Amino acid sequence: MRRDDGSPGFGVYIHWPFCAAKCPYCDFNSHVRHQPVDQERFAEAFRREMAGMRERTGPREVTSIFLGGGTPSLMKPETVGAVLDAVAANWTVPDGIEITLEANPTSVEANRFRGYRAAGVNRVSLGVQALNDIDLRFLGRMHNVTEALTAIDLAREIFPRLSFDLIYARPLQTLEAWEAELRQAIGYAADHLSLYQLTIEEGTPFYALHRAKKFAIPDPDHAADLYELTQTVTAQAGLPAYEVSNHAVPGAESRHNLTYWRYGDYVGIGPGAHGRFVEGRQRIVTIAERHPENWLAAVEQNGTGITSGEQLTSWEEADELLLMGLRLREGIEVHRYEALANRGFEPERLSFLQQQGLVESIGNSRLRATQAGMSVLDALVADLAQ
Amino acid sequence: MNTPLSHIRNFSIVAHIDHGKSTLADRLIQLCGGLDAREMEGKEQVLDNMDIEKERGITIKAQTVRLAYTAKNGETYTLNLIDTPGHVDFAYEVSRSLRACEGSLLVVDASQGVEAQTLANVYQAIDANHEIVVVLNKVDLPAAEPERIKEQVEEVIGIDASQAVMISAKTGLGVPDVLEAIVQQLPPPREGDATKPLKAMLVDSWYDAYLGVIVLVRVIDGVLKKGQTIRMMGTGAKYPVERTGFFTPKMIQADQIGPGEFGFITASIKEVADTRVGDTITEDKRPTEAALAGFKPAQPVVFCGLFPVDAADFEDLRSAMGKLRLNDASFSFEMETSAALGFGFRCGFLGLLHLEIIQERLEREFNLDLIATAPSVVYRLVMADGGVQELHNPADMPDVMKIAAIEEPWIRATILTPDDYLGGILKLCQDRRGIQADLSYVGKRAMLVYDLPLNEVVFDFYDRLKSISKGYASFDYHLTDYREGDLVKMSILVNDEPVDALSMLVHRTAAEKRGRVLCEKLKDLIPQHMFKIPIQAAIGGRIIARETISALRKDVTAKCYGGDVTRKRKLLEKQKEGKKRMRQFGKVEIPQEAFIQALKMGDS
Ligand SMILES: Nc1nc2c(ncn2[C@@H]2O[C@H](COP(=O)(O)OP(=O)(O)OP(=O)(O)O)[C@@H](O)[C@H]2O)c(=O)[nH]1
Ligand SMILES: C[S@@+](CC[C@H](N)C(=O)[O-])C[C@H]1O[C@@H](n2cnc3c(N)ncnc32)[C@H](O)[C@@H]1O
Ligand code: SF4
Ligand SMILES: [Mg+2]
């Protein structure tokens, strides 16, 4: 593992937009196909898109690669290999950088995992989501706890690094039940865990069901209690939060996600992927066509699936920096914000928020949200961004 | 060509709110071919042309339409109809309309019968010397009892209803009979001589984005023509007439407007103050001798401050108010400044609905964001030194030591209600410091007359009345006098800072309850903040009620990846926009609706 030098870095994100089934809470760009997907064609399209991106970013050294989804563990190892080769063909990829692949515990077979490893993947992130079968069924997942544990074991054996995801703050989940499940999860964990509170996203089946009052999620007070409990338990276990929902043994943070939150540069390759990087002297946003086959057609016909590429104004950058940076325990570098926003935080507002115990300074150059501030971060950011 | 007087009929359609005036107007326009079937297609209440009228389903502004009707006798008549609003706040529109014509169609919903504004409006029509045609509407409804309502009209109002026309404005049933009744039963204009000097009544004026100020006139004598130089006799302003014409309801240009007729003129009028409704218009070089009596000016009864959310919009607000005032002479404004809200205007309205509507129109038609402060009636302060001053804004209340007495306006209210709800309504009136003046029966319904302090009525009395009576009670009122009251100023403190826009005068006995309700309301209206917020009501230094808004505990997006940044930023931008619609008081942001919503007392 390479040492984190604190720099934002340059990441490459690749989006695999297919899943075996659609989970009822999910609003990611994921699609179910009943015909086999032509992986070679997609690999070729990824290659073309990357070559185009390379023209725009210029030569750069990659700090991490992330294969996300959808369900990238539905990719054949050869496809993964082809895509990683394409990254290396366009940019400098130093040995040993973090290369993550998101995997669903269902689509695991030992041979695939070995194939990914051989292709260069050194970290997997498993979508475990829950450690009891009733909740897994509620979440519409295709795996059970036994399968999840098998996948964890196998991944630990094959990959140097492993993380898994849980979704909590589920309907009727008590503090006691969650604490027990969380402790169990920590027992299985390697050095990284992602713990997300269930969010009801517009347009998903859960949204309609929730609105129809078919189930209820914890009210803000209970949700806050669950969150605080999570912080305490993970910290005691040596897996403190380094971001709102991400926990790691210090030093084992996800380099790739740090790039997002440190507001670094990244290219986004594949359907619906976003990128943010400096082109010329301007920081730009790229957004790709979401629909997989349309994206494919666009790349094949025009050489790119990018549908919009706006330049960010510096105050938009300032807002984004704040939005992402304050999610991190390490907070933001105040000077960087001030330079982009072309103004400082209002001293009176800042001292009030400090007095309320919501933000704190680290030395005289960084600002971060306290644990209390983290629980109301969206309101905090809105207040600071004014 | 002018229509001979004998072939002109000018009339207003009056009724209680929602009894179907505008729907009847639709049918009359349709039958006379003012709009063809295609133009009417899918439309209802075509004269309610403001968005706000369409949305709320009520008429706010009176509208005049000229129709050509060929009667059974083969003669063609010119009918000028004025559709008027029913809500009590717009009674002034009705009184003006009545003054401009000779007859009225009194529309009564045959399922509901005579209501409070039926009475108020028909008495006004009788006062204006009108002939009245009674129209019993909505006979298509299963609950309609036209025969019984006909008797009720005779009994309660005391007018002859033997020739009442029974119709359904919705289906069109019976509407041709209305047209015949207009021609047969209503009189032509009483006077009118085309050869005399011009004498015309300025009935209404409004601002049109394309044509500028449009003036609606009723010509009494003489002829109004393009090119004439006219003079407004009250203000002395002179203008050459640029266009003349009629509304059919489409705006049609015509060469002239003859005696007895309604029409519009435009004359590049710039000054709002130049077109005063009720003024007499004459020809500058051959003026009429005597001006018309004019209208009684509208008396604003509710005042509130309107401030731009963004201080930079102040000048825009000023010009918008000027333009709106042209549309609505019954609202008044003057500049004011507030410690918390900066520069704005103190505005006078005819009622709370009127206030809401003006605010909404300013926001929509002129694209402004406004904050309205707590509405207040006009108090009269008798000072210790013997002087008397008016208080339009509780925030301006002088030191209590200098005040000998505070007087407040009282009204006389007439309420008609089915017997079942009488108990609840009596209690409501009693709770609002009412003094019963009369209780009698109109058929099975009680007619209740009460004297009430206006300040107890203005905010939500009407809403309460409607909810107690499940919508069946109706209500009308007029101002009577000023009476001394034991009134105190109640201040509201949010997070320990006084919010002057929420301070109000209340009766001492009601202060505690009002303070409590107000604090409870504010608790719901002010969103949670990252810290807890105490809300207090105080009289002088004494706290009489308090509530606390607890601190926000959980508000954070659980997962946020690279791809979500754009979405999150857009959300943040929206949030920032939203914050602009809030007002900062110390550390607390108060949504602008809170100022007026807080005053609707609900169950009190
Ligand atoms: N069933 C039935 N409904 C009717 C009839 N006439 C009007 N309505 C309905 O009654 C409601 C009120 O009609 P309007 O014509 O807007 O009443 P209005 O008297 O102009 O109301 P304001 O201008 O607000 O005082 C509408 O929903 C109409 O559709 C009728 O003859 N029969
Ligand atoms: C990119 S997603 C999907 C990864 C993978 N396809 C899977 O589902 O296992 C990454 C994680 O986000 C979390 N997630 C997705 N939708 C969520 C929601 N509505 N509320 C909370 N967490 C969610 C899940 O824990 C999921 O594993
Ligand atoms: S497997 Fe993951 S990406 Fe696919 S639908 Fe479920 S949550 Fe979404
Ligand atoms: Mg109407």
User: Averaged in consecutive runs of 10 residues, what is the pLDDT profile of chain A (386 residues)?
Assistant: 76 97 96 95 98 96 96 96 98 97 83 94 97 97 94 96 98 97 97 97 95 95 97 97 98 96 96 94 94 97 92 94 97 96 92 95 94 96 91
A212-221 long-range Cβ contacts below 8 angstroms, 24+ apart: A215/A171, A216/A171, A217/A169, A217/A170, A217/A171, A218/A169, A218/A173, A220/B552, A220/B553, A220/B554, A220/B555, A221/B553, A221/B554
Ligand 1 centre and the CA of B154: distance in Å?
23
- Any chain B CB within 8 A of the CB of A266? yes
Matching residue, tokens 């069946």:
B472
Alpha-carbon dihedral of residues A347, A349, A354, A355, nearest 10 degrees? 110
Residues B461-480: pLDDT tens digits? 887 888 898 877 888 888 89
Residues B503-544: pLDDT tens digits? 889 999 889 988 998 999 999 999 999 999 999 999 988 999
- Predicted local confidence at residue B225, as pLDDT: 94
- Interface predicted TM-score (ipTM) of this complex, two decimals: 0.91
Residues listed for chain B? 604
- Predicted local confidence at residue B458, as pLDDT: 78
Which atom number of ligand 1 is nearest to the Cα of residue B44?
29
Alpha-carbon dihedral of residues B175, B180, B181, B186, nearest 10 degrees? 130
Residues B404-454: pLDDT tens digits? 999 999 999 999 898 999 999 999 999 999 999 999 988 778 999 999 999
Q: Find out whether B38 and B32 touch, Cβ atoms under 8 Å.
A: no
Closest by CA to A194, choosing from B62, B136, B561, is B561
Distance CA A229, CA B323 (A): 60
Reported in sequence order, the residue ranges of B222-261 that DSSP labels E, i.e. its strands, are 224-225, 229-232, 238-240, 243-247, 251-253, 256-257
For A133, counting Cβ atoms within 10 Å of its Cβ (0-12 exposed, 13-18 middle, 19+ buried), the class is middle
> Å from A78 to nearest chain B CA?
26
Judged by DSSP in three states, B278 sits in: coil
Subunit contact B554:A273, Cβ cutoff 8 A: no
Subunit contact B569:A320, Cβ cutoff 8 A: yes
From the CB of A105, is ligand 3 less than 6 Å away? no
Phi, psi of B545 (to 5 degrees): -160, 150
Interface test with B, best of A64, A102, A260, A266 (most B CBs within 10 A): A260
- Angle value at C-alpha B76, between B73 and B77, nearest 5 degrees: 110
| pLDDT band with cut points at 50, 70 and 90 for residue B114 | very high
Distance CA B195, CA B221 (A): 8
Tell me the best of A67, A165, A209, A260 to mutate to test the pocket of ligand 2, counting ligand atoms within 8 Å of each CB and taking the most. A165
- Predicted local confidence at residue B376, as pLDDT: 85
Subunit contact B530:A356, Cβ cutoff 8 A: yes
B23 marked as part of a ligand binding site: yes
- pTM comes to 0.68
Q: Find out whether A25 and A200 touch, Cβ atoms under 8 Å.
A: yes
Subunit contact A323:B565, Cβ cutoff 8 A: yes
3-state secondary structure B133-171: EEEEECCCCCCCCHHHHHHHHHHHHCCCCCCCEECCCCC
**Through-space distance between the first and last CA atoms of chain A, rounded to whole angstroms:** 40
Tell which B residues from 521 to 580 touch A, by Cβ distance under 8 Å.
529-531, 552-563, 565-566, 568-569, 572-573, 575-576, 579
Residues B24-60: pLDDT tens digits? 999 999 999 878 878 877 788 888 888 888 888 888 8
- Predicted local confidence at residue B603, as pLDDT: 42
- Predicted local confidence at residue B373, as pLDDT: 80
Q: Is the pLDDT of residue B604 over 50?
A: no
Which atom number of ligand 2 is nearest to the Cα of residue A206?
19
Q: Is the pLDDT of residue B596 over 90?
A: no
From the CB of A198, is ligand 3 less than 6 Å away? no
Residues B167-212: pLDDT tens digits? 999 999 999 999 999 999 999 999 999 999 999 999 998 888 788 8
Of B530, B558, B579, the CB nearest to A358: B530
Residues listed for chain A? 386
DSSP state of A22: -
Q: Is the pLDDT of residue B374 over 80?
A: no
Judged by DSSP in three states, B281 sits in: strand
Matching residue, tokens 């003094």:
B435
